[in-house]
Amino acid sequence: MSDHINGTTNGTTNGANGHDYDYESKSFLHSSHFPGFGTHAAHHGSDPDKWDFSPIVPPISLSTTFKQSAPGVVPKYDYSRAGNPTRTAFEECLAKMEGGTQAMAASSGLAATSLIINLLKAGDHILCCDDVYGGTNRYFNKVVSRFGVDVDMVDPTNLELFESKIRDTTALVWLETPTNPMLKICDIKATVAMVERKFAGKEKPIIVVDNTFASPYFQRPLDLGATLVMSSVTKYINGHTDVCMGVIVTKNEDLAQRLRFLQLAVGPAPSPFDCYLALRGARTLHLRMRQHETNSLAIANWLETGEKSKYVSKVIHPGLPLIHNTSWLNAK
Protein backbone atom coordinates (compact mmCIF):
# COMPACT_ATOMS: atom_id res chain seq x y z
CA MET A 1 0.00 0.00 0.00
CA SER A 2 2.86 2.38 0.83
CA ASP A 3 4.12 2.05 -2.74
CA HIS A 4 1.11 3.94 -4.07
CA ILE A 5 0.64 6.78 -1.59
CA ASN A 6 1.18 10.14 -3.33
CA GLY A 7 2.38 8.24 -6.39
CA THR A 8 5.61 7.22 -4.63
CA THR A 9 7.46 3.95 -5.07
CA ASN A 10 9.58 1.62 -2.96
CA GLY A 11 7.95 2.64 0.31
CA THR A 12 9.14 6.26 0.06
CA THR A 13 6.92 9.29 0.64
CA ASN A 14 7.25 12.89 1.76
CA GLY A 15 8.02 13.25 5.44
CA ALA A 16 6.60 15.89 7.77
CA ASN A 17 9.51 18.15 6.94
CA GLY A 18 8.77 17.96 3.22
CA HIS A 19 11.69 15.65 2.44
CA ASP A 20 11.46 12.12 1.15
CA TYR A 21 11.42 9.48 3.86
CA ASP A 22 12.36 5.90 3.01
CA TYR A 23 10.30 3.75 5.36
CA GLU A 24 11.86 0.47 4.30
CA SER A 25 15.53 1.39 4.76
CA LYS A 26 14.96 3.64 7.80
CA SER A 27 12.77 1.28 9.78
CA PHE A 28 12.21 2.91 13.19
CA LEU A 29 12.60 -0.46 14.84
CA HIS A 30 14.75 -3.10 13.22
CA SER A 31 15.39 -6.82 13.39
CA SER A 32 19.10 -6.20 14.02
CA HIS A 33 18.15 -5.64 17.67
CA PHE A 34 17.67 -9.43 17.86
CA PRO A 35 20.11 -11.11 15.46
CA GLY A 36 18.98 -14.43 14.05
CA PHE A 37 15.33 -13.80 14.85
CA GLY A 38 14.03 -15.22 11.58
CA THR A 39 16.24 -18.31 11.87
CA HIS A 40 15.05 -19.00 15.40
CA ALA A 41 11.43 -18.50 14.36
CA ALA A 42 11.83 -20.96 11.49
CA HIS A 43 13.71 -23.70 13.31
CA HIS A 44 13.56 -23.51 17.10
CA GLY A 45 11.34 -26.20 18.59
CA SER A 46 11.18 -28.00 15.23
CA ASP A 47 14.35 -30.12 15.37
CA PRO A 48 13.65 -33.16 13.16
CA ASP A 49 15.80 -35.33 15.45
CA LYS A 50 13.18 -35.00 18.21
CA TRP A 51 11.19 -37.63 16.34
CA ASP A 52 12.07 -41.15 15.23
CA PHE A 53 11.18 -40.36 11.60
CA SER A 54 12.92 -36.93 11.37
CA PRO A 55 10.10 -34.72 9.98
CA ILE A 56 11.07 -31.23 8.87
CA VAL A 57 7.64 -29.97 9.99
CA PRO A 58 6.55 -31.11 13.48
CA PRO A 59 3.61 -33.52 13.27
CA ILE A 60 0.18 -32.80 14.73
CA SER A 61 -0.19 -35.10 17.73
CA LEU A 62 -3.93 -35.51 18.32
CA SER A 63 -3.77 -38.16 21.03
CA THR A 64 -5.33 -37.07 24.33
CA THR A 65 -3.65 -39.84 26.35
CA PHE A 66 -0.25 -41.52 26.22
CA LYS A 67 0.95 -45.01 27.17
CA GLN A 68 2.59 -45.49 30.56
CA SER A 69 5.36 -48.08 30.83
CA ALA A 70 3.97 -49.17 34.20
CA PRO A 71 1.22 -48.09 36.61
CA GLY A 72 2.13 -44.79 38.22
CA VAL A 73 5.17 -44.25 35.98
CA VAL A 74 4.33 -40.96 34.30
CA PRO A 75 6.11 -40.35 30.97
CA LYS A 76 6.89 -36.91 29.53
CA TYR A 77 3.33 -36.77 28.20
CA ASP A 78 0.42 -38.47 29.91
CA TYR A 79 -2.67 -36.30 29.25
CA SER A 80 -2.88 -33.60 26.62
CA ARG A 81 -4.23 -30.92 28.96
CA ALA A 82 -0.89 -31.11 30.79
CA GLY A 83 1.24 -31.30 27.66
CA ASN A 84 1.33 -32.28 24.03
CA PRO A 85 4.25 -32.76 21.59
CA THR A 86 2.88 -30.25 19.07
CA ARG A 87 2.26 -27.71 21.83
CA THR A 88 5.79 -28.24 23.11
CA ALA A 89 7.21 -27.38 19.68
CA PHE A 90 5.25 -24.13 19.63
CA GLU A 91 6.16 -23.24 23.24
CA GLU A 92 9.88 -23.85 22.63
CA CYS A 93 9.78 -21.61 19.57
CA LEU A 94 8.00 -18.76 21.37
CA ALA A 95 10.30 -18.97 24.40
CA LYS A 96 13.28 -18.47 22.09
CA MET A 97 11.62 -15.63 20.15
CA GLU A 98 10.84 -13.73 23.38
CA GLY A 99 14.31 -14.30 24.86
CA GLY A 100 12.89 -16.49 27.63
CA THR A 101 13.47 -20.05 28.79
CA GLN A 102 9.92 -21.32 29.32
CA ALA A 103 6.62 -20.73 27.49
CA MET A 104 3.10 -21.78 28.39
CA ALA A 105 0.45 -21.76 25.67
CA ALA A 106 -3.24 -21.19 26.34
CA SER A 107 -6.47 -21.33 24.36
CA SER A 108 -6.69 -17.53 24.00
CA GLY A 109 -4.97 -14.34 25.10
CA LEU A 110 -7.49 -13.95 27.93
CA ALA A 111 -6.96 -17.58 28.91
CA ALA A 112 -3.25 -16.77 29.28
CA THR A 113 -4.19 -13.70 31.35
CA SER A 114 -6.42 -15.83 33.59
CA LEU A 115 -3.54 -18.25 34.24
CA ILE A 116 -1.42 -15.33 35.45
CA ILE A 117 -4.22 -13.98 37.65
CA ASN A 118 -4.59 -17.43 39.22
CA LEU A 119 -1.15 -16.84 40.75
CA LEU A 120 -2.78 -14.21 43.01
CA LYS A 121 -4.95 -14.51 46.12
CA ALA A 122 -7.70 -12.50 47.81
CA GLY A 123 -6.33 -9.29 49.30
CA ASP A 124 -3.74 -8.78 46.55
CA HIS A 125 -3.61 -5.60 44.47
CA ILE A 126 -3.12 -5.21 40.70
CA LEU A 127 -1.66 -1.99 39.33
CA CYS A 128 -2.61 -1.83 35.66
CA CYS A 129 -2.14 0.76 32.92
CA ASP A 130 -5.28 2.78 32.22
CA ASP A 131 -5.31 2.25 28.46
CA VAL A 132 -5.45 -1.51 28.06
CA TYR A 133 -7.05 -4.13 25.83
CA GLY A 134 -10.81 -4.06 26.41
CA GLY A 135 -10.95 -7.74 27.30
CA THR A 136 -8.30 -7.27 29.98
CA ASN A 137 -10.14 -4.23 31.37
CA ARG A 138 -13.42 -6.14 31.48
CA TYR A 139 -11.83 -9.22 33.08
CA PHE A 140 -9.95 -7.25 35.76
CA ASN A 141 -12.82 -4.93 36.72
CA LYS A 142 -15.88 -7.14 36.28
CA VAL A 143 -14.53 -10.58 37.18
CA VAL A 144 -11.24 -10.48 39.10
CA SER A 145 -12.43 -7.65 41.39
CA ARG A 146 -15.29 -9.90 42.61
CA PHE A 147 -12.80 -12.29 44.21
CA GLY A 148 -11.18 -9.91 46.67
CA VAL A 149 -8.42 -8.61 44.38
CA ASP A 150 -8.19 -4.81 44.10
CA VAL A 151 -7.44 -3.20 40.74
CA ASP A 152 -6.17 0.31 39.98
CA MET A 153 -5.97 1.60 36.39
CA VAL A 154 -3.36 4.36 36.04
CA ASP A 155 -1.62 6.20 33.19
CA PRO A 156 1.74 4.37 32.84
CA THR A 157 3.36 7.24 30.95
CA ASN A 158 3.17 9.34 34.15
CA LEU A 159 5.64 7.32 36.19
CA GLU A 160 5.30 9.51 39.28
CA LEU A 161 1.52 9.02 39.32
CA PHE A 162 1.93 5.31 38.57
CA GLU A 163 4.35 4.94 41.50
CA SER A 164 1.97 6.75 43.85
CA LYS A 165 -0.64 4.01 43.35
CA ILE A 166 1.61 1.17 44.45
CA ARG A 167 0.56 -0.46 47.72
CA ASP A 168 2.22 -2.85 50.13
CA THR A 169 -0.26 -5.42 48.81
CA THR A 170 0.60 -4.85 45.15
CA ALA A 171 1.30 -8.32 43.81
CA LEU A 172 1.04 -7.67 40.09
CA VAL A 173 2.00 -4.76 37.82
CA TRP A 174 0.38 -5.05 34.40
CA LEU A 175 1.78 -3.07 31.48
CA GLU A 176 0.79 -3.01 27.84
CA THR A 177 3.02 -1.22 25.35
CA PRO A 178 2.09 0.02 22.86
CA THR A 179 -1.28 0.20 24.57
CA ASN A 180 -4.57 -0.78 22.97
CA PRO A 181 -6.12 1.29 21.50
CA MET A 182 -4.29 4.60 22.07
CA LEU A 183 -0.77 3.30 21.40
CA LYS A 184 0.81 4.84 24.48
CA ILE A 185 4.46 3.86 24.92
CA CYS A 186 5.37 2.69 28.43
CA ASP A 187 8.96 2.83 29.63
CA ILE A 188 9.33 -0.81 30.74
CA LYS A 189 12.86 -0.45 32.05
CA ALA A 190 12.06 2.64 34.13
CA THR A 191 8.91 1.03 35.53
CA VAL A 192 10.84 -2.10 36.52
CA ALA A 193 13.50 0.04 38.23
CA MET A 194 10.81 1.96 40.11
CA VAL A 195 9.12 -1.23 41.33
CA GLU A 196 12.44 -2.73 42.42
CA ARG A 197 13.27 0.43 44.33
CA LYS A 198 9.88 0.52 46.06
CA PHE A 199 10.15 -3.12 47.11
CA ALA A 200 13.84 -3.23 47.96
CA GLY A 201 14.38 -5.98 50.52
CA LYS A 202 10.82 -7.25 50.10
CA GLU A 203 9.04 -9.71 47.86
CA LYS A 204 8.57 -7.89 44.57
CA PRO A 205 5.37 -7.87 42.51
CA ILE A 206 5.19 -9.86 39.31
CA ILE A 207 5.68 -7.46 36.40
CA VAL A 208 3.74 -8.52 33.30
CA VAL A 209 3.96 -6.92 29.86
CA ASP A 210 1.30 -7.61 27.25
CA ASN A 211 3.44 -7.70 24.11
CA THR A 212 0.63 -8.39 21.64
CA PHE A 213 0.92 -5.17 19.62
CA ALA A 214 4.72 -4.97 19.41
CA SER A 215 5.36 -8.74 19.18
CA PRO A 216 8.77 -10.22 20.05
CA TYR A 217 10.06 -9.02 16.68
CA PHE A 218 10.03 -5.41 17.87
CA GLN A 219 10.24 -5.73 21.66
CA ARG A 220 11.50 -8.17 24.30
CA PRO A 221 10.15 -7.12 27.71
CA LEU A 222 12.05 -9.88 29.53
CA ASP A 223 15.32 -8.26 28.43
CA LEU A 224 14.08 -5.03 30.06
CA GLY A 225 13.36 -6.67 33.43
CA ALA A 226 9.76 -7.87 33.13
CA THR A 227 8.93 -11.08 34.99
CA LEU A 228 6.41 -12.39 32.48
CA VAL A 229 5.49 -11.48 28.93
CA MET A 230 2.17 -12.52 27.48
CA SER A 231 0.70 -12.18 24.01
CA SER A 232 -2.50 -12.90 22.22
CA VAL A 233 -1.17 -15.27 19.58
CA THR A 234 -4.44 -14.68 17.74
CA LYS A 235 -3.07 -11.37 16.44
CA TYR A 236 0.39 -10.92 14.90
CA ILE A 237 2.19 -14.08 16.02
CA ASN A 238 -0.21 -16.40 14.21
CA GLY A 239 -1.04 -13.71 11.68
CA HIS A 240 -3.56 -15.59 9.53
CA THR A 241 -6.87 -14.93 11.36
CA ASP A 242 -7.55 -18.63 11.82
CA VAL A 243 -6.33 -19.39 15.37
CA CYS A 244 -7.40 -18.17 18.82
CA MET A 245 -4.49 -18.65 21.25
CA GLY A 246 -2.37 -16.99 23.92
CA VAL A 247 1.11 -17.54 25.33
CA ILE A 248 3.11 -16.64 28.44
CA VAL A 249 6.94 -16.55 28.43
CA THR A 250 9.35 -16.17 31.34
CA LYS A 251 12.92 -16.72 32.52
CA ASN A 252 11.70 -17.45 36.06
CA GLU A 253 11.73 -21.23 36.52
CA ASP A 254 9.66 -21.15 39.71
CA LEU A 255 6.89 -19.14 38.07
CA ALA A 256 7.06 -21.39 35.01
CA GLN A 257 6.42 -24.47 37.16
CA ARG A 258 3.52 -22.76 38.92
CA LEU A 259 2.01 -21.75 35.59
CA ARG A 260 2.43 -25.27 34.18
CA PHE A 261 0.55 -26.60 37.21
CA LEU A 262 -2.21 -24.08 36.48
CA GLN A 263 -2.31 -25.21 32.84
CA LEU A 264 -3.22 -28.64 34.17
CA ALA A 265 -5.40 -27.53 37.10
CA VAL A 266 -7.38 -24.78 35.36
CA GLY A 267 -7.33 -26.33 31.91
CA PRO A 268 -7.22 -23.61 29.19
CA ALA A 269 -5.21 -25.82 26.83
CA PRO A 270 -5.00 -24.99 23.12
CA SER A 271 -5.66 -27.74 20.60
CA PRO A 272 -2.72 -29.47 18.89
CA PHE A 273 -4.00 -28.30 15.51
CA ASP A 274 -4.07 -24.67 16.68
CA CYS A 275 -0.50 -25.06 18.00
CA TYR A 276 0.57 -26.40 14.61
CA LEU A 277 -1.04 -23.47 12.79
CA ALA A 278 0.41 -20.90 15.20
CA LEU A 279 3.90 -22.38 14.84
CA ARG A 280 3.50 -22.12 11.06
CA GLY A 281 2.45 -18.48 11.45
CA ALA A 282 5.33 -17.62 13.80
CA ARG A 283 7.84 -18.62 11.13
CA THR A 284 6.94 -15.58 9.03
CA LEU A 285 6.46 -13.08 11.88
CA HIS A 286 9.65 -11.17 11.06
CA LEU A 287 8.62 -10.71 7.42
CA ARG A 288 5.08 -9.64 8.21
CA MET A 289 5.99 -7.20 10.99
CA ARG A 290 8.47 -5.34 8.81
CA GLN A 291 5.80 -4.87 6.14
CA HIS A 292 3.17 -3.87 8.72
CA GLU A 293 5.61 -1.26 9.97
CA THR A 294 6.43 0.11 6.53
CA ASN A 295 2.80 0.31 5.44
CA SER A 296 1.35 1.74 8.66
CA LEU A 297 4.03 4.41 9.04
CA ALA A 298 3.57 5.55 5.45
CA ILE A 299 -0.20 5.77 5.91
CA ALA A 300 0.14 7.62 9.25
CA ASN A 301 2.50 10.18 7.77
CA TRP A 302 0.28 10.57 4.70
CA LEU A 303 -2.75 11.29 6.90
CA GLU A 304 -0.78 13.82 8.96
CA THR A 305 0.56 15.91 6.09
CA GLY A 306 -0.73 17.76 3.05
CA GLU A 307 -4.23 18.82 2.06
CA LYS A 308 -6.06 15.85 3.63
CA SER A 309 -4.64 16.67 7.08
CA LYS A 310 -7.35 19.33 7.55
CA TYR A 311 -9.87 16.50 7.80
CA VAL A 312 -7.84 14.60 10.43
CA SER A 313 -7.63 16.01 13.96
CA LYS A 314 -4.89 13.68 15.21
CA VAL A 315 -2.84 10.75 13.94
CA ILE A 316 -1.47 8.32 16.53
CA HIS A 317 1.41 6.04 15.54
CA PRO A 318 4.45 5.10 17.68
CA GLY A 319 6.78 5.74 14.75
CA LEU A 320 5.71 9.27 13.85
CA PRO A 321 7.95 10.89 16.50
CA LEU A 322 10.94 9.41 14.67
CA ILE A 323 10.16 11.46 11.60
CA HIS A 324 9.80 14.60 13.74
CA ASN A 325 12.57 13.86 16.25
CA THR A 326 14.92 10.91 15.81
CA SER A 327 16.08 11.04 19.43
CA TRP A 328 12.60 10.30 20.79
CA LEU A 329 12.28 6.63 19.89
CA ASN A 330 15.96 5.96 20.45
CA ALA A 331 15.44 7.12 24.04
CA LYS A 332 12.42 4.84 24.37
Cβ–Cβ < 8 Å for 126, 165 = no
What residues contact 134, with CB distance under 8 A and at least 6 apart? Answer: 180
Residue 81 annotated among the catalytic residues of the structure: yes
What residues pair up with 14 in beta bridges, in sequence order? 20
Instruction: Classify residue 151 by its DSSP letter.
Output: E
Cβ–Cβ < 8 Å for 179, 147 = no
Give the active site residue among 23, 133, 236, 276. Answer: 133
Residue 142 annotated among the catalytic residues of the structure: no
Residue 138 annotated among the catalytic residues of the structure: no
Give the active site residue among 26, 50, 81, 198. Answer: 81
CA separation, residue 74 to residues 24, 67, 261 (Å): 52, 9, 15
Residue 210 annotated among the catalytic residues of the structure: yes
Phi, psi of 53, deg, nearest 5: -105, 10
Give the active site residue among 26, 235, 283, 288. Answer: 235
Q: What count of other Cβ atoms lies within 10 Å of the Cβ of residue 299? A: 16
Q: What count of other Cβ atoms lies within 10 Å of the Cβ of residue 263? A: 22
Give the active site residue among 23, 210, 236, 274. Answer: 210
What is the Cα–Cα distance from 99 to 46, expressed in whole angstroms? Answer: 17
Instruction: Give catalytic residues, as residue numbers.
Output: 81, 133, 210, 235
